[in-house]
Amino acid sequence: MFKMKEKNGKAKDFDSDQNGTAGSTVLDTETGVAFSNGGCYDSCVPSCLQFRFASSSMEETYRAYFTRQKFDMLPVLLLFAFLFDVCVIILYVAKYDDSKLTEISIMGIAVLTNLILFVLCKFRLVSEWALANVMPFVIWILLCGQLLVHLGLHYDPLTPSDGAGWVVFFVYASYVMMPLRLLFVLLLSAVCTIGHSLMVGLLASANTKYMAVQLISNYLLYICAIILGCVSYLMSDKKLRRAFQDTRASLEVKVTLEEQKQQQETLLLSVLPKHVAIELQDDVGRSSIQNGQFNKIYIKRYENVSILFADIVGFTAMSSKLTAQELVKVLNGLFATFDKLAEENNQLRIKILGDCYYCICGVPDSYEDHADCSVQMGLDMVLAIAAVREKTQSGVDMRVGIHTGAVLAGVMGQRQWQFDVWSKDVTLANNMESGGIPGRVHISQTTYDCLSSNFETEPGDGDLRNDYIKARGIKTFLIKAPNLLKENKVLETLKVPADGDSRNEKGVNDEVETEKEAKSSLVARAQSARNVGNETEVNKIIYEALVEREHNSNISKQTNPITLNFKDADMETQFHCEKERQSGVSIACSVIIMLFAFFIQLTILPRTLASFLTFSIGSVILALLTFLSVGSNFPNTFPKSLVRFANWLETNRWARKLWAILVIFVLGAADMIDMFSCDVDSGYPSNLTSLYPYDDRCYYSQYFNFIAVLVLVGITVLVQITSVIKLFMQIVITVIYCVINIVLLPELHDRYDQFVYYDNQKGAYLVATKYELTATLLIISLALLYYNRHIELTSRLLFLWRVEAKNQKDEVYELRRKNEALIMNIMPAHVAKHFLGTKRKDEELYSHSYDEVGVIFASIPNFSEFYTEDLINNQGVECLRFLNEVISDFDGLLSEPRFKTITKIKTISSTYMAASGMSTDFEHLQSSETKKRWSHLADLVEFSLALRETLTKINQQSFNNFILRVGLNQGPVLAGVIGARKPHYDIWGNTVNVASRMESTGKAGHIQVVESTMNILKPFGYKFEKRGMIKVKGKGELLTFYLVGKDDSTDSIPGVIS
């Protein structure tokens, strides 16, 4: 159900009665359909004969859909009219004389008219308005006119029972085939039946002594047909309402699917370039991604690219003056501006490392002016930081370094995916930044060679500030930027977001274009309408979706053209096993037919012992069958055993078929037994002046055939069986009645003809009643066969739509699972909950301060010696494949329960960064004892030892000698997401900086910590070796220790602090 948000924040359903439908409403919880008794129409129709949606707008849309569905019934009704005309013409020709020429001509015109209307309705050659408001009445008038003309011109003399069988079928057909409201059909049925009764009552000239009895019997037939028609109408209405709601649910699923898809793609593109994201999407959510014996690697080499590194100088001093939320807002605003600049300068953001931002030009699309783009990007960043410096009144500045070369770009590991680049040229670009000057753009000789004449340079002297540059003898340059504020037109309009306002962020062009194209789609329109709460528009879209599904339906390709069975055997089984919720109601109709058949028997047929026995036994059997069938509709009222039986009956295809056959057998047998109980051996009285209704000779035997019409309708009402079974049953019933009429009991009808026609020396040119009744049954049976086939085709189409809706729901669930797995591969689980399944504005950022967190940096310092870019290593790809295996194995450790408190932050080249205690579970332990509070730090140590053990195993398998160097620290950190539209999760703070220095200043094969960390870990049984005072950049000298292991023995060893 679609929901919208009111201003007060409360959820508001779209199918609520927003337009104030008059009268009270009761919601059917099974179908979501409301019974209503308000309004002019409702006051005219009993509440038991109507379903209504509580929302008038939704009801109006449904009525349009219901009417459209009945459009396909109009050709069926016209086919019946055509068959009626053909039957009548055949009867005329069979007893032709000159007086029949007028009748044949009139019926010929009727045939032509029916054919014309059939073509117009079948191929929709008239407007929908005409089909809904004109055609039904034209067809009704045509049918009534044909019937009355036939009665007036053909029957001479006319009797009260003439044409009653046709009226019975026509009345029922009006309910199931006319695209009109139930009230209008009731009125038309009343007009039709009253018109027939008036005509035969006024014009009948034979067998009129017992006219009242015959008219009462006729009306019993009509009332039964009306009841069956109303039941069929309401069953169809309820089924179509369910289909309507299924479509609404299906459309909602599509909207949700689109939202989930957009959310997934947005998050994926926030950290990964599109070319990498496309390759990853199919693999997201898999437990393992293998490519042969190695984990799949998503890395590609790119030549002729320019790499830019930019570091915020003075960031630590600025961050100390801001709160956690203020710092995240400032960073978010600054990096959002950088992302905008990157887009304008054809840059691809690689990663944000704390206060360091680096990007690349030439990946994945190459640019001839990549060097110019990168230099311009650097100049724009310097200008942007100047605006921040002015706003915050701080000494922050930007140091930019650029180098041009080749890179390997992609993602590493299995968790916390972040796009990165590797190569010796990347290392040099990083050193170009560290060897640069604040407020200037520092470039290498290679970049200088690729630069156009648009920029002026001066000597950079990078070798004097950086040993790496000096060791390689690289000449560097600084970009001159005179009158930058006046010349840079782009930056004249650039506004640095205030207080972290990230609304200047701009999505990728492809997303914008895709969004524009999607606005015209039904899904996009429904999504927009749902967001603004426009119920009328939503219902209009639902109607269009229904029409679209009709046009796109390919059911003919999926079903057998003869049996209508699905070509897919599993689909056919599923269709038959689906519970039919209205089966009990359809079986109950057989009781109604039996009851009215008995009333007709009492009114105009002999009241014999056989009639009472057939009614009693038949009624008991049918009532029992009905009682056993409706148990599932009243699970709280009926015994559980009966409910289970009813559910089994509704879901077992063969049981349903046998049950339906038994119902029709009882109905047909009761009527046929009554026919055979008639006295056919007694002679015809010569002095008979009137036909006594209760004579054992059954003078009004035509009513047996009229009851047979009701039996054929009863077969149609059954929803448990397919059209093939209905075809078989109708053929059997029709053939048996035809044989009885013509072969077994022809005397029943011959005696009637003898008295009415031949004794009065009339009717010489009329076909015998037994043949006319047989023709009537054949035509009605043929029309019902066509109708039943159409109904089953519609049922199968609705079934396909339900299957489609279910498949779409399953697709949503699968996409949601992949979406969750994707987000878990981008950011930690507790942070992912902040973004998953929610819509947030750009300014709604995530930030959180933690007071007691452990942080490690674990690097492989000798990997740089292993890494080469020669041909044997595929220019470095194979080296990175090995590193991917190492990082993936490290990621695999995080799946172990013992490391559940550990969160991977990111990887930086061959350095693995993780943290512990970043969960709300530990925030509740602030007042607990030290050992309990810092248990996660012990877990982090164990994780570090496990990393070392894992690397040792890899060395043994690959015959390498990689060594792990770990730096560990503990304390407060700030965790946050920078960029609401392009989220990047990271942690900042002095704790992180010191942990990084512990790693960079440590010794390979060791875990280095500061004194405060050692004091916390000692109670856990860890042993340490004092290293002494070391110089740490930005911190002066710190006393550090090496963690040498955990030993339960009390023996001390030299140099170990226990």
Q: Which residues are marked as active site?
A: 311-312, 355
Q: How many Cα atoms are found within 13 Å in the side-chain-facing hemisphere of 409?
A: 29
> Is the sign of the CA dihedral 921, 924, 928, 934 positive or negative?
positive
Dihedral pair phi/psi, residue 481, rounded to 5°: -135, 65
Say if residue 798 is exposed, middle or buried (CB neighbours under 10 Å; 0-12, 13-18, 19+): middle
| 384 three-class SS | helix
Task: Say if residues 476 and 444 touch (Cβ distance below 8 Å).
Answer: yes
**Cβ–Cβ under 8 Å, residues 801 and 242:** no
Buried b (16+ CB within 10 A) or exposed e, 228-258: bbbbbbbbbbbbbbbbbbbbbbbbbbbbbbb
Closest CA to 32 of 19, 16, 11, 10: 16
Name the residue among 278, 823, 826 with its Cα closest to residue 510: 278
**C-alpha–C-alpha distance, residues 372 and 345, integer Å:** 9
> What is the widest separation between alpha-carbon atoms in the chain?
141
Q: Would you give the DSSP letter of residue 897?
A: G
Q: Which amino acid is at 902?
A: I
Contact (Cβ atoms closer than 8 angstroms) between residue 710 and residue 593? yes
592: closest CA among 296, 324, 227? 227
Backbone angles phi, psi at 413, to 5 degrees: 85, -170
CA distance 891 to 946: 11
Residue located via tokens 């009006």: 174
DSSP letter at 1020 equals: G
Number of H helices, E strands in the chain: 39, 23
At 618, list the tokens.
């038949």
Element (H, E) at 33: strand 33-36
Residues in contact with 589: Cβ distance below 8 Å, sequence separation at least 6, in sequence order: 228, 231, 714, 717
Listed residue (521, 554, 526, 558) closest to 540, CA to CA: 526
Contacts of 506 (CB under 8 A, 6+ apart): 339, 340, 343
DSSP string of 117-160, one letter each residue: HHHHHHTT-S-HHHHHHTHHHHHHHHHHHHHHHHHHHH-SS--T
Annotate 746-775 with three-state secondary structure: HHHHHHHHHHHHHCCCCCCCCCCHHHHHHH
DSSP labels, 151-166 = HHHH-SS--TTTTHHH
**ω into 1019 cis (within 30 of 0):** no
- Within 272-323, where are the H helices? 274-281, 315-319
Residue 1043, C-beta contacts closer than 8 angstroms, at least 6 positions apart: 941, 968, 1006, 1007, 1008, 1009, 1014, 1017, 1022, 1023, 1024
Round to whole Å and give the CA distance between 21 and 53: 9
Helix 702-717 with 723-739: angle, nearest 10 deg:
170
CA gap 790, 803 in Å, rounded = 20
CA distances (Å), origin 783, targets 172, 561, 586, 790, 918:
12, 18, 20, 11, 74
Bridge-based pairing state of the strands 397-411 and 441-444:
parallel
Closest C-alpha among 25, 27, 23 to residue 1: 27
